[in-house]
Copies of this chain bind each other. A is one copy, B any other.
């Protein structure tokens, strides 16, 4: 039987066309970003992976289904600028429905980060990642096998305020 995290990662593999609407809550500004996201399994022997595990003092036997995410996006704020990047993500299960997620690089800060995930009873993947001055809360779920939805919040470090909320609809690209 496949664990929830393995099932979730397996369903996520592939190339996705994403539309993200970012709501700045203080200024009520909306930013639209279109991007392509590629999620691929990682070779357990990859040196970058070995390094990430070592720096977090995690044994390779403790991880499950490591993967990489590569993205390239265009914002409606500046159509000439593209943002792109990639990171490694390594789930380290603590129970069937909870665990840590190691990242080689965070979304908001270019430093490694460790988040905690759990699955709610309807299968939503909920990830909370503390950063130095804020924390990110992401909820990701599948509306269908080919439509992945994501709501991300950036909270103040106290957790009481929310600076930004964003919504992404990600459609799987069919290989031709």
Known interface pairs A19-B30, A30-B19, A147-B162; A171-B120 also in contact (CB < 8 Å):
no
Q: Is A86 at the interface (CB under 8 A from chain B)? A: no
Interface status of A153 (Cβ within 8 A of chain B): yes
Query: How far apart sit A63 and B34, CA to CA, in the bound complex (Å)?
Result: 44
- Interface-side segment among A21-29, A40-48, A52-60, A101-109: A21-29
Interface centre among A21, A32, A149, A161 (most CB of B within 10 A): A21
Instruction: List, in ascending order, chain B residues with CB within 8 A of A23's CB.
Output: 19, 21, 167, 169
5 contacts between A and B (CB under 8 A): A21-B167, A120-B120, A120-B124, A147-B165, A165-B167
